[in-house]
Structure 1
Amino acid sequence: MDEGLDDHVRALFATAPDEFVAARTELVKALKRDDRRDDAATIAGLRRPSWIDGALNRTAAAEPEPVAEFVDAARAARRIQQADAEGRRTASLADALRTVRAAQARLAKVADTALVGFGRKADLAGVTARLAQIGADPVGLELLRAGVLGIGDELAGVVVTDDTSEPGVTSDTGESGDTGAPNADDDAARRKAIDAATRAARSAEKDAQVAATAARRAAERRDRAVAAVEAAEAAVRDAERVLEQARSELAEHETRAADAERAADEAAEAASDAAARLDDLLD
């Protein structure tokens, strides 16, 4: 890939997914006009990202701060978890995971707003679940940072230039890496640390699933409530129309009844006059 093409790729993946194909086509045409046919073929092979990935890519381009906060927190938690698994004392994994969850929640809200900006329904649960998946993948974290989620493995290494490895963490004594041949106590401590880290990871994953489920159910309840309010409002409007029509019909019937009563009075008076005249004639 020629130098500078990664900027075009980032801009392409920041477009709304329903505009991705048209933007890709225009970029391919521009590259062909510049006689960059290899790059044009590469771009032509890119696939449209999902709506959620598109919202996250747009967020990375427009508001990189919450993205960087989440990526850095997730990588720090992974380093601490790895160090704990190796039996080295580092910062609190529980505190690191709480930081990740807080950053994840903030980023999810921003990305959900971007999703709505695409004309889609809000899906905070889906965004949260996707971030949980990305947080467990070092490459995915850097694709998120670059704003190119969905780019595919073949170009990930070209666009993402940051180190996706998980370097060791310095211990409290200032040393890192191997400190000599392990003994039985070291092995026991390492196994204990691995067990603790595994439980913490499972607990964090469970918390993320519970949060995603709760958010999804809350969204479903909200949607049902909105539908119920809309139905009730429609019913009220229908009832108001029926009431207005009934009032109009009542007024019309009252007018007709009054007219009928007047006609009846007039007919009775005419009949009385006719009877009186008949009586006069008979006399």
Structure 2
Amino acid sequence: MVTGTDATVRRLYEEPPDGFVAARAAAIEEARRSGDRDAAKRLAALKKPTVAAWVVNLLALHRPDLIDELVELSAALRSAQRDLHGDQLRELSNQRRQFVSALVAAARKLAVKAGATTTKLPLAEVEATLTAALAEPEIAEQVRTGRLIRAATYAGFGEVPRPRLRLVTDEPAGSPSEPAATSEPISPFDPEPEGTEPARLSARERAAADQRKREQERRRRELDRELTAAMAAEHRADAQLERAEAAERDAGHLVEDLDAELAELERRRTEAVADVARRKLARRTAEREAAAARRQVGDVQAALDDLES
């Protein structure tokens, strides 16, 4: 059952974030005036969403059918991954990318319709949140509520290049898997017989060439390992950067919230000080009126005493 407070919460998360704090303060004040302390407390606990979270919330609130499809696709992807259906997984992955792009486009239209400027929309964060929702059921359920307060990211490894593998055997050197260097046949036109100095030089050159080839292969394997490690480090660094940027944005939003709350408290303090001044003036006026009344009582009492005497 949808209550009046639920409708208010929905309205708050539909409005652009820059007006969230003021709208929340007005809703809390209205709830207090109506005597609904529970509603006021519930509204006070609401957090201001980031712009990316707001855009995703618009999609969840105005196009719940698309979010339902997202949840269904998420379940299908997880099932395919568990069952290791390669063809199905590739097809669903393509469908996932296309579907996320369509969701981002729909969310963008809703945000522009709500008054947002296209150039300032963090669509990359919106896409990351929707991708995370496809990978994590908990994030998908949070998206479905329409009350996200920050963007989400998926911490999985994603698709990485497949390393080049080589077959390693325990056959000794000189076996068919690695033919040993042999001497080239000597041309019948070569006047020098086998075993002469030029033949020995040719054998040494071939041995040196084989050695260089083995060194190149070894170096290539080392570079392959270094590349794999560097790519993993790059992924970790990118993830750390995303977390740092998200933390910075959250801190900035917290400062904005606190500034707005301080401004609201200062306004209420000013009103309270003015109210104290008015009440002090009323008290002084009442004191003067009470003193005048007491004097009048004394005068009347004195007149009565004179009359009786």
TM-score by length of 2: 0.42
Q: Which has the higher contact order (CA 8 A, sep 6+)?
A: 1
Larger radius of gyration: 2
TM-score, L = length of structure 1: 0.46
